Every structure is written in structure tokens, then in C-alpha cells.
Chains A and B, each alone.
Chain A
């Protein structure tokens, strides 16, 4: 599959709360080639410090060549985003990278996201819905506060999906951790997709294993190249071997991952 480097014009920047910015970019070749679960490596400026690109899941891709990313502003690189202007500045993207999610032709599924982990699930839900509008798609979203989760919960609901929310402070939906919401759903779905913090993914993987439901997780690690060259983005597989998130993933069958306690 062909990868591209594109100087992508920023079409829109939107603050989503909780230091998350939604960046809409015009990246036609990447949009054309992309599938849900894939990612891009982003360079925020041409300086040598910060040096390395950062990986971001594709949050949404449309037919007009527009790509959305959700960027949580945590360091100097991502902070640069707030100095950039829509309609004027560009971001340097390399992608689409990685394997992406896979799905059965039919059957109800559950998408579970924690915090910024919601990013690739929106793209997945859109494609699943487009391919088979009758398919039941359950969305479970978790976060620290209602303010962090609400905007994404609304977007999924507008698209006609059934959404349940869990927050750490109880300010919206269930007061507790989002994997707790899985228990009631697992009997009725044929596939679970998860993205979020490590501990959340581990809980999701464990719950799915107990229920005998297949689960795909999108993993995150330190990564230098995104192209399979540096071999830096290692995770440990269930059989003890090393996997590389950029090439073997970022989406893994949860049973193939060695979950650290």
C-alpha cells in the first residue's frame, strides 16, 4: 500500500475541550488511501527541536480529501498547533501508516474509547455504518469529566449510534470506568474495538476473553519513524516475541498482546 508525504493545508482548527484540538486538513492522497485504524506521522514545523514526528490516528476521512486528527496538546510539538492558522498554515504528514481495523461483513459491534482514544473509533463507526447502515454499533466512551466526553458522545449520537458514557467524576453518565459498561453488552456483540489508555485496554481485553468475544485494540508507543525502519515502537506479544506497533499494528488482536499487570 502506497504511503505519501503531504504538506497538508489546515482547513479548520477546533478546540474540543480538555486540551484536545481537532485539526481538519486537506490531504487528498492520504485520504484516498486510508482505512480506519491507520495513522499518520505529523511534523508540526520545520525546526529540529522538537525533532521527531508524532503519530496520530485518523479521526475522520471524507471523500473530498479532508482528514481530521484529534491532537491532545501535551508537549512543545503539539503546543505549536495553537500558533497555526486555518486557511494559511500546513502540517507535514506521512501516511497512511499501519494495518487498520478489520471487520466481519455483518453483526453487532461495540466500540469502546477512553479519553483521546475515541479518535480512530469515529472513523471506524462511519465506515461500518456506511457499508451496512442496519448494523448495530454500540459506542462506549470514557473520560475524566463529562466536559471531556460530551462533545464526542454528541457526534456519535448525531450519526445515529447508541452511546453510553462513563466518567471518573460522575459528571456525565456512569460514575466509574468505561470497561464496566461492557459487561451488559458483550453477550450481544460479535466484535469489540478498543482504543485508550493501557489499563483500560487491558480491562477490555480481559472482559472480552472471559466472554469469548473477539477484540481488536489500537495500541500506542514511543515511535520514531512510523515506517518499520527504526524498530523502536516495540510491544511484547503473548508468546513473548516483540511486535512493532507501526507495522504489525497499531491494531492488534487483544489475544496476541502480553498484558502487563
Chain B
């Protein structure tokens, strides 16, 4: 459904995230949308700004033992443990479908070592149908590797540099909120050659069953997502967007168009919708429609014109 302004024109939803041009600012977040085909009955993947696929490693990973998810107030904790089919099977069995649909595909990558990140970047470089890479340096669930990359600026910079050296694709680094100063992390990956940052990944959290006196997740701790984390995410996006020069993609508890617009006004050039995909499978397209309606109502011709227009008195 097209929403038209008084001159009969539909607002321009196109945004650029560094070198990456998106048809609209609404992407779906890694780990919440599978490889796209899981949502084919509910969403036209080609209508989205982009599909950030489930995180891929060099080799397949089986992930954490169950239970892996538990609901918490206005959110959920997960400790999936980066289960994925590995890069080779992804390229053969999942990427072709996304390419045929005409989706803008952003491949989320993760590794245990700087070398592994570099190898993944080289492997994906030049594969047709990949628009960008998003580097996961912040997943809190795997006991080795992950945490240190995302929380130590020098490590984050080194990983970014290794990926940068392996590919010319637009490079987004996804930041962990579990740090003292996220602006410092953003600056570190900017130095490493990132074209953009996406934030936030999940906040580490925990829940306990008081009857059994055991943690509700087999992994004991997990990542908190959903609307519960949105104010924290918004604050961090605003701070990073104000302090670094590369573009920011906002993530964290976005459940509707109003939430997405908050992030855009705070300075995000695009947003990723995550946990809400589980609750409302078609939410991403509803958000696109809602942004368009807002632009008409506000008499704005282009979504790019409202990015970072937050007024702070």
C-alpha cells in the first residue's frame, strides 16, 4: 500500500549506510529471521531494507545445550550459542534463495580468532548476492573468544582490520552494550576500517528458577533482547551517532514504527528489527509502512531528511 503526500508523491525511503545503499531503513536482525526463507509466508524479503542472516562461522556449530530461551518481563533471554550451518553450506543452500528473491543480503560473521574472521571475509568476498558484512564481535554466549573481541577496544579494532583486509564489501561492526564506554568501542572499529556500526547486541542477563534453585538457561547467562532493552539501546545509539563520523544502525527492542522512528531521530541511518519478528512475523513490513505514513504526516519528502533531527534543548 502506497501512502502519498498532498502532491501525490510517495516519500523517498532510500537511505545510505556508508557505501551501502538501502531501499528503506528497515532491516531484520541476525538470529531473528533465520536465512529469510523461514519468513517467506509472512514477509516479502525483497521489500525490506535488508536481511541480516543468522551468524555464520567458518565451520558448522551445534550451539548450547537446552534450555536456550526463557521469557522475562518485556523481553527474552537467549543462549543459542551461535548454532549455524557454516559458511560453505550457507553459500550453497541458503544464499541462492535470497539472491533469487532480490533481497539485500547482509551476512553476519563470527569467529573464534582474528584469523578466522579474516578467512570468512575472504571466503565471502566476491560471492554474488552479498551486499555487506556485519561482524559479530559481541555475542555474549560463547565462553571463549566472543566476549573479549567485543569488550576490548584493541581487539575489536584488530578484528575489524582483519575483515577489512579480506574484503571490499561494505563493513558493519555490531557492537556489544556490555562495555563501560560504547563510544570508545565505536571509535576503535572506525579506526579498524568499519564503514558503519550496528548497535546494540543483547545485554547479558540471567534468570533463576527459585524452586529448583537453578538457572533457567543451561548456559546460566544469556543475552537479553526485546522491548525491555530499548531505552538502553536508544541512549547508546544517540551517544555513538553524536560522537563518531561513520553511520549507525540502531537495534534494540524495536516493535513498531514509532520505535524505529525514535532511533532514526536519535541519529541511526537505519534500524534492525529483532525479537519482534518472533512475536509478529510481518512486523518489519508494518514498520516500513508506518515510517512512510509518518513522513507524509510530517510533510517530509525523504526519510534521510529526518535522520538525527532530534532536538535537545
Chain A interfacial residues counted at CB < 8 A: 29
Interchain CB contact under 8 A, B278 and A53: yes
Q: With an 8 A cutoff between CB atoms, is A231 at the interface?
A: yes
Residue count of chain B within 8 Å CB distance of chain A:
35
Cβ-defined contact, B63 with A229, below 8 A: no
Contact of B62 with A242 in the complex, beta carbons under 8 Å:
yes
A residues apposed to B, CB below 8 Å: 2-5, 43, 48-53, 94, 221-225, 227-236, 241-242
What is the bound-complex CA distance between A222 and B66, given in angstroms?
Answer: 9
Known: A48-B255, A233-B69, A236-B65. 9 other contacts (CB 8 A): A48-B226, A51-B71, A51-B226, A52-B76, A53-B279, A224-B76, A224-B78, A224-B278, A228-B38
What 10 A-B pairs are tightest by C-beta distance, nearest first?
A232-B69, A229-B34, A225-B278, A234-B66, A3-B41, A229-B38, A224-B278, A49-B74, A232-B68, A227-B38
B282 surroundings in chain A (CB, below 8 A): 5
Chain B, 67-89, contact with A by CB distance < 8 Å: what is the 0/1 string?
11111011110101001000000
Contacts of A51 in B (CB 8 A): 71, 74-76, 226-227, 275, 279
Docked pose: A3 CA to B282 CA in angstroms: 12
Contact of A234 among B31, B68, B227 (CB under 8 A): B68
10 contacts between A and B (CB under 8 A): A2-B41, A5-B282, A222-B67, A225-B281, A229-B32, A229-B277, A230-B31, A231-B83, A232-B68, A242-B62
Chain B residues within CB distance 8 Å of chain A: 31-34, 38-39, 41-42, 54, 62-63, 65-71, 73-76, 78, 80, 83, 226-227, 255, 275, 277-282
Contacts of A230 in B (CB 8 A): 31-32, 69, 78, 80, 278
A50 and B277 contact, CB distance less than 8 A = no
- Which B residue sits closest to A242, measured CB to CB? B62
| Residue from B71, B255, B277 in contact with A225 in the complex, judged by beta carbons closer than 8 Å | B277
- Provide the residues of chain A in CB contact with B62, threshold 8 Å: 241-242
Contact B42 A234 (CB under 8 A): no
Contact of B78 among A50, A227, A232 (CB under 8 A): A232
In the complex, chain B residues whose CB is within 8 Å of the CB of A228: 34, 38
Q: Are A52 and B279 in contact (CB under 8 A)?
A: yes
Most buried by B among A4, A51, A227: A51
Tell me the complex Cα distance, A5–B278, Å: 12
How long is the Cα–Cα vector from A228 to B35 in the complex, in angstroms?
Answer: 10
- Nearest CB on A from B222, distance (A): 10
Q: Which residues of A lie under 8 Å from residue B280 when comparing CB positions?
A: 43
Option from A3, A52, A235 in Cβ contact (under 8 Å) with B42:
A3
From B70, B75, B80, B277, contact of A231 by CB (8 A): B80
Instruction: For A223, give its contact among B34, B69, B80, B255 (CB under 8 Å).
Output: B69
Most buried by A among B42, B68, B70, B278: B278
Shortest CB-to-CB span from A5 to chain B, Å, is 6
Which of chain B's residues has its CB closest to A75's CB?
A: B71
Kindly provide the distance from the CB of A217 to the nearest chain B CB, expressed in whole angstroms: 16
Contact across chains for B34 and A227 when beta carbons are under 8 A apart: yes
B277, chain A: closest CB distance, angstroms: 7
Query: What residues of chain B lie closer than 8 Å to A2, measured between beta carbons?
Result: 41
- Min Cβ gap B81→A in Å is 9
How distant is the Cα of A43 from the Cα of B42 in the complex, in angstroms?
16
- By a CB distance below 8 angstroms, the chain B residues around A231 are 31, 54, 63, 68, 80, 83
B63 contacts which chain A residues (CB < 8 A)?
231, 234, 242
Q: How far is the CB of B221 from chain A (nearest CB, A)?
A: 15
Whole-angstrom distance from the CB of B193 to the nearest CB of chain A?
31
Indicate whether A48 sits within 8 Å of B227 (C-beta atoms), given known contacts A232-B80, A241-B62. Answer: yes
In the complex, chain A residues whose CB is within 8 Å of the CB of B76 = 51-52, 224
Residues of A within 8 A of B278 (CB): 52-53, 224-225, 227, 229-230
Complexed CA–CA distance, A224 and B277 (Å) = 10
Whether the Cβ atoms of B65 and A234 lie closer than 8 Å is: yes
What is the CB-to-nearest-CB distance from B207 to chain A, in angstroms, rounded to a whole number?
Answer: 11
For residue A49, which residues in chain B have a CB less than 8 angstroms away from its CB?
Answer: 73-74
Closest residue of B by beta carbon distance from A246 = B38
A34 to chain B, nearest CB (A): 14
Selected contact of B71 from candidates A4, A50, A221, A227, CB within 8 Å? A50
Chain B residue numbers with a CB within 8 Å of A225 are 32, 38, 277-278, 281
Q: Looking at B69, B75, B275, which has the most chain A CB atoms within 10 Å of its CB?
A: B69
Contact B281 A94 (CB under 8 A): yes
Question: Once the chains bind, are B68 and A222 in contact (CB under 8 Å)?
Answer: yes
CB closest chain-A residue, reference B84: A231
Min C-beta distance of A45 to chain B, whole Å: 11
Question: What residues on A are CB-neighbors of B54 within 8 Å?
Answer: 229, 231
Nearest-neighbour CB distance to chain B for A75, whole angstroms, equals 9
Nearest CB of chain B from residue A42's CB, rounded to whole Å: 11
CA distance A52 to B66 in the complex (A): 18
